[in-house]
């Protein structure tokens, strides 16, 4: 196997501070993280240590106070909001702890929508959506709305939505955090299989050490830095 030349995602010397009244919370103090195509990194750290902050910065949802975020080798901090939004649509999939599906739309439409926004023809977007939903075991649920799905099914639709758009990077913030252990285990297996099949680069924040053990490597956040746990 030849190593790719460029990480799919490279966080370099990321700084993030939150000022609250008299105090400044220095959450990230020069954090570095490189993630290669096809690699799944578990981000395991206690609540409040900055996992969501790091993922939001990596996902271009939040700007760092210092450092640079490279997506596919391209620096992003110089981009304006339109440029960031465009890159986020093209290259980044985000899965939240809560599914954030659109309630009025079916599973199929929820998954097809980001692809339509990206400019794919409806037929192609829907066939890809159906394929990914089928892969995740939801082939019989395409026309269901989120309220007609179980928690685990909703979360699988959210994963399908993030992945169907064929991003370079998948970021997941405790994606199975509000599911029961068995459902969580099942959804997580699906997520890993999908990431492996599509050669995405993924960072998955989780509290669950058993799930983390099934990823390629494990990192934590310590004193504002990303540190290897392996
Ligand atoms: P985690 O996801 O690991 O639980 P977060 O990244 O959500 O941690 O938060 C890290 C720390 O930063 C927490 O102490 C939190 O209170 C603080 N924080 C996060 N977002 C903000 C914000 N917008 N304003 C002020 N403090 C924040
Ligand atoms: Mg969090």
Ligand 2 midpoint to CA 59 (Å): 14
Ligand 1: residues with CB < 6 A are 18, 20, 25, 27, 45, 47-53
What's 204's domain CATH number? 3.40.50.300
In this structure, are residues 175 and 98 in contact, taking their beta carbons and an 8 Å threshold?
no
Whether residue 145 is contained in a domain is answered as yes
Whether residue 13 is contained in a domain is answered as no
Mutate which of 14, 53, 65, 177 for ligand 1 pocket (most atoms within 8 A of beta carbon):
53
Whether residue 23 is contained in a domain is answered as no
Ligand 2 midpoint to CA 2 (Å): 35
In this structure, are residues 188 and 196 in contact, taking their beta carbons and an 8 Å threshold?
no
Whether residue 22 is contained in a domain is answered as no
Whether residue 58 is contained in a domain is answered as no
Whether residue 126 is contained in a domain is answered as yes
Q: What are 87's two structure tokens? A: 């890159």
Which ligand is closest to the CA of 47, given by its number?
1
Distances in Å between the Cα of 187 and the Cα atoms of 18, 32, 44, 95, 191 are 34, 29, 18, 12, 6
Spatial separation of the C-alpha atoms in residues 218 and 212, rounded to whole Å: 7
Taking the complete model, does pTM exceed 0.75, yes or no?
yes
Boundaries of domain holding 156: 40-51+85-228
Please choose, from the candidates 4, 31, 33, 37, the residue with its C-alpha nearest in 3D space to the C-alpha of residue 15. Answer: 31
In this structure, are residues 35 and 29 in contact, taking their beta carbons and an 8 Å threshold?
no
Which ligand is closest to the CA of 51, given by its number?
1
Query: Going residue by residue through the chain (230 aa), what tens digit of pLDDT does each one get?
Result: 555 579 999 999 999 999 999 999 999 999 999 999 999 999 999 999 999 999 999 999 999 999 999 999 999 999 999 999 999 999 999 999 888 999 999 999 999 999 999 899 999 999 999 999 998 899 999 999 999 999 999 999 999 999 988 899 999 999 888 788 888 888 888 888 888 888 899 999 998 888 899 999 999 999 999 999 99
Whether residue 14 is contained in a domain is answered as no
Whether residue 204 is contained in a domain is answered as yes
Q: Is the backbone of residue 79 left (phi > 0), alpha (psi -120 to 50) or beta?
A: beta
**Domains in the chain: how many in total?**
1
């Amino acid at each position: 196997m030849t190593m790719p030349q460029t990480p799919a995602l490279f966080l370099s010397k990321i700084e993030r501070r939150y000022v609250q009244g008299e105090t400044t919370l220095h959450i990230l103090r020069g954090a570095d993280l490189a993630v290669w195509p096809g690699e799944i990194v578990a981000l395991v750290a206690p609540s409040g240590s900055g996992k969501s902050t790091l993922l939001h910065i990596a996902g271009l949802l939040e700007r760092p106070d210092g450092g640079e975020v490279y997506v596919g080798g391209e620096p992003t901090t110089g981009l304006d909001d339109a440029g960031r939004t465009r890159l986020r649509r093209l290259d980044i999939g985000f899965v939240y702890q809560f599914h954030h599906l659109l309630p009025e739309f079916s599973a199929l439409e929820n998954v097809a929508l980001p692809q339509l926004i990206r400019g794919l023809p409806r037929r192609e977007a829907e066939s890809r959506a159906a394929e990914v939903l089928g892969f995740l075991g939801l082939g019989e649920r395409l026309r269901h709305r989120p309220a007609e799905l179980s928690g685990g099914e909703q979360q699988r639709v959210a994963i399908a939505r993030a992945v169907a758009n064929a991003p370079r990077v998948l970021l997941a913030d405790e994606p199975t955090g509000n599911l029961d252990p068995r459902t969580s285990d099942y959804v997580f297996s699906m997520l890993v299989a999908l990431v492996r099949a599509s050669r995405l680069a993924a960072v998955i924040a989780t509290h669950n050490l058993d799930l983390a053990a099934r990823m390629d490597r494990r990192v934590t956040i310590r004193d504002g830095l990303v540190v290897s746990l392996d």
